Amino acid sequence: MSDYGSRGKRRMDKGVMVALGVGGLVIVGVVGSIALASKRNTDAGYAAYAQKYGVGGKPCPEVNRAEMAADGPDPTHATDYGGMHIMRAFGDVECNEIVVKGRLKICLFSSPGSLSAQIGDKTVLYLPGLGQPASVMVDEKNKLSCVLAVKKPLSSS
């Protein structure tokens, strides 16, 4: 009968140790590269959304109730997103959350005519005009804003 515990410990060859160390470094490098590429793609994706939604674009004309009644179509179609209640007169809407200088909850309207945006007890009226896409957004501090968006179909990226 043999006592396996009485044998001396086997030592690993230096070549095997070096190979294992290099292999571990290669794995760490590959994983790091994938993570970095993923971050770059995500940043590029957010930048593309920001451009599509008009973030940083020209502000929508803000009006009061009398100006809205006199100059704009009545906003009757409702959309609720990200704590916002938004009414529009016409067109389609697409909402999303993007990260550009903080998190924005944003809705792109294809041709709203007029917009009424509410968050909490604050309501703001905008008159972007007929045929003009516009984006209404709320930031992390619940500040509403509206920008005139690029004239593109909603389905394009």
C-alpha distances in Å from residue 70, one per residue of 73, 75, 125, 134: 9, 13, 13, 20
**Sign of the Cα pseudo-torsion (63, 95, 82, 55, in order):** negative
CB neighbours (10 Å) of residue 58? Answer: 11
CB neighbours (10 Å) of residue 133? Answer: 23
- pTM attached to this predicted model: 0.64
Question: Mind listing the pLDDT tens digit of every residue in the chain (157 residues)?
Answer: 555 555 555 666 777 666 666 666 656 555 444 444 444 434 455 455 566 666 767 899 999 999 998 988 889 999 999 899 999 999 999 998 887 777 889 899 999 999 999 999 999 999 998 889 998 989 888 889 899 886 654 554 4
| Structure tokens that stand for 103 in this block | 């998190």
In this predicted structure, what is the pLDDT of residue 5? 55
Q: Residue 7, SS3?
A: coil
In this predicted structure, what is the pLDDT of residue 72? 83
In this predicted structure, what is the pLDDT of residue 139? 87
**Sign of the Cα pseudo-torsion (126, 123, 90, 92, in order):** positive
Looking up tokens 């009545």 gives: 74
Which residues, in sequence order, are CB contacts of 108 under 8 Å at separation 6+? 52, 53, 54, 93, 94, 95, 96, 133, 134, 135, 149, 154
Q: Where are the domains of the chain?
A: 11-157
CA separation for the pair 83, 138 (Å, rounded): 8
